[in-house]
Structure 1
Amino acid sequence: MKILLIGGTGTISTAISEKLIEEKHELYLLNRGNNNINLPKGFHSICADINDEAAVAQKISGMKFDCVADFIAFVPSQLERDYRLFNGKTNQFIFISSASAYQKPLSNFIINEGTPLANPYWEYSRNKIACEEYLMKMYREQGFPVTIVRPSHTYCEKSVPLGVHGKKGSYQIIKRMLDGKPVIIHGDGTSLWTMTHSRDFAKAFIGLIGNIHAIGESVQITSDETLSWNQIYKSIANALAVDFKPYYVPSDFLAKAGDFDFEGSLIGDKANSVVFDNSKLKRLVPEFQATIRFDTGVKECINYILSHKECQQEDVDFDKWCDKVINSLETALSLVKESGY
């Protein structure tokens, strides 16, 4: 098949690009070319900024695709642009939305594609909902061949997936663990979550490409493995061969205590217990099965990060913030104990 990925070199999309190349599809990547060198040979590069609509229109003039997928669209105006560029030029358009768009607070911890979309806590999620609404309008009114994909927490080998981290990514938490310092876990660590390795995600995603039953549908792609946050962080500690030293902090406290948008990422997402029902995905892609267990996948992440200096970006400000939060709560606890009844 002739497939165009807008982006194609990110956390989710790199594994898809690699697998499409391996399967000998005619793959085109539309991006600025900054990270294409990390992919194996066997794809065509369309070097352009997707936001430069006129330049992209010129570069794809006369081209038609079996599938176009946009991995870097976040607001409706970007999908309006995609519609102008690709209407009549593709048999399928896949938009990567987000499972964070599902209703918060949840009415049922079991999530499927019929769960309402509503997230008052996170603008990112509300924008994804608006994107979905626009595309489905174009499907209903104009026959635009849309498939909406909702990933949850998907990770690759270059970053350890976490609940609480700073603006520079996950390495500082790894460093805290290696230094024997406690790490902040939201809540009491018992809420449920799902981690999906990008290679598992790629298998399901490719099964939706060219799938006539996926047109006009929304499909979530996650692993079936359910973990508590304690299990997630314990698996990371085990992979580092260090003691697990959690420090539990209420999610609403974290949401108010730092400039890290924890209200969105925690209250609007990770602080909620979720279990994903992937029945619809498995009807559409009967051969799909997520096979990379988290404790196995996270060891791969740790090994990669510790052997690649470029992944070891320290975040001194976040480290100091963690210490400040922990010390403040310990001081408050001491004062309460000293005051008696």
Structure 2
Amino acid sequence: MARVVVIGATGHIGTYLVPRLVRLGHNVVAVTRGTSKPYLPDPAWSQVESIALDRDALERQGSFGSTIANLQGDVVIDNICFTLDSARQLVEALKGNVQHFLHIGTIWTHGLSEVVPTPEDVTKRPFGEYGIEKAAIEAYLLDLARRENFPATIIHPGHIVGEGWAPLNPAGNGDLAVFETIARGERLELPNIGMETVHHIHADDIAVLLIQAMTNWRAATGEAFHAVSPGAVTLRHYASSIFRYFGHEPNLAFAPWEEWKSRQTEENANATWDHISRSPNCSIEKGRRLLGYAPRYSSLAAVEESLAWLVANGRLRT
């Protein structure tokens, strides 16, 4: 079994990943800022070595990479790297000191969906700081893997869902009021004709894919994989399904983008545009073929589990 260092261990992915690693017999080092707890309790956390580090401060000092390398992990999983400079500092310190490095990217590295379902190896044209930086990290890691045999694997999640936090809603933003409108059976207005897509993934399915990549090391190194559900959903279908989940027939209206935008907060409109302008619809065939990836949750099943948790914990008014 391996010594696995998980950076960002108590977040969306780590909440599910760390207990799975412990139950498989791995020695897990959980690196966090020291202020957060996993979203769900699990007795496996009592067997984890926890270390609090301020990544931003250590990176400014130029010592974050060496600090992680000194933990002597066989495997390092980085859930929270967002810039190329940050990735370089860590990876340069890990060269020759790690058996496998796994980086969490994003399906936003693709930019606009041009071919659907979108495979990992199409030409990428990202836009927006987040997608551009993540695409640069991916290119850097894959180049190192091919030129210097650095054992890197990139996992690109879709919109992460799971118990403990709110899923991306059918309007393409994070406002819980959208789900509350649906739960009451009231009319929900969507932009355009609701045919843009979103592509969710349950955090536990990401955890499973990471472990499959570790297990199938030779097939996984030097490769990038999508971590998404078996199928994207249109906003229209997503909203209709959630109406039915709450016991109502769909009650939808539609408006042209500029008109719809005028009735939203700036924050919600910007978030919706970020999602529908990309309209992701990603393929998981490569993960199936090389790693045996078979996500347990559909997009809607993952969302429904999250909604049930939100209702049970008083976070969603129905």
TM-score range, shorter chain: 0.7 to 0.9
Q: SS of the residue aligned with 2:56?
A: coil
What one-letter code is carried by the residue in structure 2 that aligns with 1:130? Answer: A
1:254 Cα deviation from its structure 2 partner: 5.7
Is 1:77 aligned with 2:82? no
Instruction: Provide the rounded CA distance (Å) in 2 between the counterparts of 1:58 and 1:240.
Output: 51
The corresponding residue for 2:134 is: 128
The corresponding residue for 1:329 is: none
Contact 1:194-1:224 at 8 Å conserved across structures: no
Matches within 5 A, 1:22-33: 22-33=23-34
Is 1:296 aligned with 2:304? no
Is 1:305 aligned with 2:305? no
The corresponding residue for 2:72 is: 64
Percent identical residues: 19
- Deviation per CA, 1:314-339: give whole Å up to 9, x if none: xxxxxxxxxxxxxxxxxxxxxxxxxx
Q: Residues 60 and 195 of structure 1: is their aligned pair in 2 closer, same or farther, counting only changes over 3 Å?
A: closer
Match of residue 218, structure 2, among 212, 220, 224: 212
- Deviation per CA, 1:25-80: give whole Å up to 9, x if none: 21111112333364422211111112232565675564322211111111112112
Q: Aligned residues, how many?
A: 306
Q: Residues 9 and 186 of structure 1: is their aligned pair in 2 closer, same or farther, counting only changes over 3 Å?
A: farther
Matches within 5 A, 1:180-219: 180-210=185-215, 211-219=217-225
Matches within 5 A, 1:1-341: 1-36=2-37, 38-40=40-42, 41=45, 42-53=47-58, 56=64, 60=68, 62-104=70-112, 106-120=113-127, 122-157=128-163, 158-164=165-171, 169-210=174-215, 211-251=217-257, 259-260=266-267, 262=269, 266=272, 269-286=275-292, 288-309=293-314, 311-312=315-316
Q: SS of the residue aligned with 2:55?
A: coil
Q: Which runs of 5+ in 1 are unaligned?
A: 314-341
Q: Residues 115 and 36 of structure 1: is their aligned pair in 2 closer, same or farther, counting only changes over 3 Å?
A: same
Q: Residues 304 and 80 of structure 1: is their aligned pair in 2 closer, same or farther, counting only changes over 3 Å?
A: same
Q: Residues 232 and 18 of structure 1: is their aligned pair in 2 closer, same or farther, counting only changes over 3 Å?
A: farther
Range that drifts further, 79-88 or 25-34: 79-88
Instruction: Provide the rounded CA distance (Å) in 2 between the counterparts of 1:258 and 1:78.
Output: 33
Q: Which runs of 5+ in 2 are unaligned?
A: none
Q: Residues 164 and 229 of structure 1: is their aligned pair in 2 closer, same or farther, counting only changes over 3 Å?
A: closer
Q: Which is greater in Rg?
A: 1
Instruction: Provide the rounded CA distance (Å) in 1 between the counterparts of 2:299 and 2:274.
Output: 23
Q: What TM-score results when the alignment is normalised by the length of structure 1? A: 0.78
Contact 1:193-1:229 at 8 Å conserved across structures: yes
1:228 Cα deviation from its structure 2 partner: 2.4
1:141 Cα deviation from its structure 2 partner: 4.5
Contact 1:153-1:195 at 8 Å conserved across structures: yes
Q: SS of the residue aligned with 2:266?
A: coil
- Deviation per CA, 1:220-247: give whole Å up to 9, x if none: 1222134322221122222323443323
What one-letter code is carried by the residue in structure 2 that aligns with 1:202? Answer: A
- Runs of 4+ in structure 1 over 6 Å off: none
Instruction: Provide the rounded CA distance (Å) in 1 between the counterparts of 2:181 and 2:275.
Output: 24
Give the aligned CA root-mean-square deviation in angstroms.
2.8
The corresponding residue for 1:330 is: none
Instruction: Provide the rounded CA distance (Å) in 2 between the counterparts of 1:61 and 1:73.
Output: 16
Q: What TM-score results when the alignment is normalised by the length of structure 2? A: 0.83
1:129 Cα deviation from its structure 2 partner: 1.1
Contact 1:159-1:301 at 8 Å conserved across structures: yes
What one-letter code is carried by the residue in structure 2 that aligns with 1:92? Answer: H
1:193 Cα deviation from its structure 2 partner: 3.8
What one-letter code is carried by the residue in structure 1 that aligns with 2:99? Answer: N
Q: Residues 249 and 81 of structure 1: is their aligned pair in 2 closer, same or farther, counting only changes over 3 Å?
A: farther
The corresponding residue for 1:324 is: none
Contact 1:200-1:292 at 8 Å conserved across structures: yes
